Amino acid sequence: MKIHRHLVETVITALEEVFLDDKYADKVIQRNLKAHPKWGSRDRKFFAETIYEVVRWHRLLEFMAGADDAWRIVGVQWLRQGFDLPPWEEFKGLDYDYIRRMEKEAAGNFAVANSIPDWMDAYGRKELGDKEWEKVVPALNKPAEVFLRANALRATADQVIDALNAIEIKAEKVSPDLPYAVKLKERKNVFITEPFKKGMFEVQDAASQMVVPLLGIEPGMRVVDACAGAGGKSLHMASLMKNKGRIISMDIHDWKLQELKVRARRDGVDIIETRLIDSSKVIKRMAEQADRVLLDVPCSGMGVLRRNPDTKWKLTAEEIERLHGLQYEILTSYCQMTKKGGVLVYATCSILPSENEKQVEKFIAEHGKDWTLVKQIHTRPDREGFDGFFAAVLKRNA
């Protein structure tokens, strides 16, 4: 592929926004793709993949480049992908022999070779042990596959696969345990397709699709999704409830709830009521009113680094410690919304025990007379090939 200078200059500017201005890679990519409508599909793919891969491998690339120089870093990445570099001054001294030599040098340092900060390497080893940590990190560096969830109100998994096949997007079922999960055989922009616009499916990782069924929800129930965000799990609940009953989707960010309303309309869901959490009274008023409560709490995102590689460079050990306090506060205060005899699911997209089973252990130690731990699940990309997720099912004693 011929590399054009104007495209490289746009890549460099975009990377500066990510690393110097602390912007998120996906937002930077979206804005640039909108700003360049004349780019062909090859240029768009090349631009997006370059940004994501440089963000993912930044520490290793910087080591191999021998300098914190965006041009050299990008040049190293393209050589690693097998592209021939143009004979530009900025790429002087970079060739395949140089790359092979530097890769060998990097191999002796796990954190450099796997492009993670030293603090994260130490933190992960402390939490998971050397053996498990060294298994999971390489898997967190592989780009994630695209999973869809068939919206049961509009389509089966087979109907979604057929509809996508008709527009030359190949997809397949995932597992009998995940009856609505569909996996794309190659990455495609499904958001512009008619099946998506008709509400036949949502984009949702397979691990995330395992969380809502743990609630054991049924049509007619009153269910609370207390950290709903843009509502992927609320929509999953609605489909399993056959759009009968009531779902109260809460969040501290109103713009996320507005996005949920748009998605709900597209999916044919009308049992969701959104509520902004703007004071503790919102939670207190709901005391013992819900048959089921989902707490998909804010977390480090250490289980989804393959989707959000920026996290490696934006997260800090101090932030994880802050999240521990917030998670426990949410669990202990929001659990009161569950009726006696009802079920609560505590979930994160983290692989760290301190955010997961340790929080649940502490909760049961302090509230065990009122609550029973029913089961816990963990998923990891090196085992199931899904995102790193945790969920604990807790039953409120009658």
pLDDT in the model for residue 290? 98
pLDDT in the model for residue 322? 98
List the alpha helices (DSSP H) in 66-152.
70-80, 96-106, 110-113, 118-128, 130-140
Share of the chain above pLDDT 90, in %: 89
List the alpha helices (DSSP H) in the chain.
5-19, 25-35, 41-56, 58-65, 70-80, 96-106, 110-113, 118-128, 130-140, 157-165, 194-197, 206-209, 232-240, 254-267, 281-284, 311-314, 317-334, 357-367
Instruction: Identify any residues that bridge with 172 across adjacent strands, giving them in sequence order.
Output: 183
Instruction: Map out the domains of the chain with their CATH numbers.
Output: 5-115 (1.10.940), 147-203 (3.30.70.1170), 206-396 (3.40.50.150)
Give the up-direction half-sphere exposure of residue 135: CA atoms within 13 A in the CB hemisphere.
12
Annotated active-site residue in 227, 299, 335, 349: 349
State yes or no: is 349 an active-site residue: yes
| Closest listed residue to residue 281, CA positions, set 323, 337, 332 | 337
pLDDT in the model for residue 189? 87
**What is the arithmetic mean of pLDDT over 211-233?**
97
- Residue 344 near residue 296 (C-beta atoms within 8 A): no
**What is the arithmetic mean of pLDDT over 117-127?**
98
Q: Which residue has the higher pLDDT, 38 or 211?
A: 211
- Say whether pLDDT at 119 is over 70: yes
pLDDT in the model for residue 1? 66
CA distance 167 to 194: 9
Count the Cβ atoms, other than its own, within 10 Å of residue 285.
11
SS3 358: helix
**What is the arithmetic mean of pLDDT over 337-362?**
98
Note the pLDDT tens digit of each residue in 287-341.
999 999 999 999 999 999 999 999 999 999 999 999 999 999 999 999 999 999 9
pLDDT in the model for residue 84? 87
**What is the arithmetic mean of pLDDT over 40-45?**
88
Q: Which helix (H) or strand (E) holds 373?
A: strand 371-379
